[in-house]
Amino acid sequence: MSSLAAPVQQPDSHQEPSPLPLATSSAGRVSGKAWKQPKSPAVRSHIPDGVKTKSWEDRMKKTQKEKAIKKLQAELSEEKKAEKTRRRAITLERRKAAEERRKLEEDRAKACLADIFPIRAS
């Protein structure tokens, strides 16, 4: 009995699925494996798909867009860096001013103490 024969229909409501059609090869032979896919020739080109399918103008437009985006990102990062350095300079100035006020306050306290408790030379 051949394994390629179609199943006989049963009068029951339970039906079996029909077998898958088999792909033929170039020599006319039929593969015994139902899951085997027909083969196609290998693509031997090393050129990327984007280069093969798109025109020069499309690629140049894409390149120009990427350059514009990079330029904008560089400008934004430069602005961020400038803002950060500006804030740092302001903070340093405030710290210097606070340190100077503290030193002046200490000098005043020393002068006040010197007036109250004069140092006697012996």
Instruction: Name, in order, each residue with C-beta under 8 angstroms of 31's C-beta and a sequence gap of 6 or more.
Output: 22, 23, 25
Q: pLDDT, tens digit, for every residue of 59-109?
A: 899 999 999 999 999 999 999 999 999 999 999 999 999 999 999 999 998
Tokens for 25, please give them.
Answer: 């090869």
pLDDT reading at 12 higher than 80: no
Contact 39, 25 (CB under 8 A): no
Asked whether residue 12 is assigned to any structural domain, the reply reads: no
Asked whether residue 90 is assigned to any structural domain, the reply reads: yes
Using CA atoms, how far apart are residues 48 and 68, in angstroms rounded to an integer?
24
Share of the chain above pLDDT 90, in %: 38
In total, how many domains does the chain have? 1
* Structural domain that includes position 104: 55-116
Q: 18-27, 34-43, 102-111 — which is least confidently predicted?
A: 18-27
Share of the chain above pLDDT 70, in %: 66
